[in-house]
Amino acid sequence: MSLGILGNKIGMTQIFTPKGDRIPVTVIKGGPCYVTQIKSKENCGYNAIQLGYFEISPNSKNITKPNLGHFNKVNLPPFRYLKEYKTLMSSDYEIGQKFSVEMFKIGEKVNISGLTIGKGFTGNIKRHNFERGAITHGSKHHRAQGSLGSGTTPGRVFPGKRMSGHSGVEKRTVLGLEIIDIDINENIIVVKGCIPGKSGNLVNITLKN
């Protein structure tokens, strides 16, 4: 797994090239993240580092006592989000080491993952692209589910049946987005194209292998 950082999606906008071409871009606040734990083959069976993002108050309701003790053990402030990245040599890192947008360069390709926008409880027409029923001739099943096959043996609904339910909030990864611009002072990274989720959504940014 490539090493990366966590960030928040700010929103989308557009920029113009010197040739006059319009490029849709997404603005992301990336990091800074700090190393909160180092795992090695000797103590955990694999090499990895744990990064913390978005510092919060020790009295925040978003922190539990076990996690608070985890941060106090390494003399670091509590972070709301933690993410683990596997590495080849965990000895190359140290507790409290900072990672920010400085690890990326303009023109590089990155993979960005996050949760899609939630759409709430939706029916089959919107969720699974089902066709609607007849509108005329006394039909009373315009957008209804229809038969579930419960009249056949064994007379029950099988798991995985496409039915209405909660839609959205699914993990999605967009591969190979080009970095257009980087602002080190404001921890801003601008990538070409769109990424999952709404504005403010937590995203994971890693270099494309």
- Whether the CB-CB separation of 60 and 77 falls below 8 Å is answered with no
Whether residue 117 is predicted with pLDDT greater than 90 in this model: the reply is yes
Q: pLDDT by residue (tens digit) across 158-202?
A: 888 899 999 999 999 999 999 999 999 999 999 999 999 999 999
Q: Which domains does the chain have, with CATH numbers?
A: 4-120+173-207 (3.30.160.810), 121-143+160-168 (no CATH)
**pTM, 2 dp:** 0.82
Return d(Cα 69, Cα 87) in angstroms, integer.
25
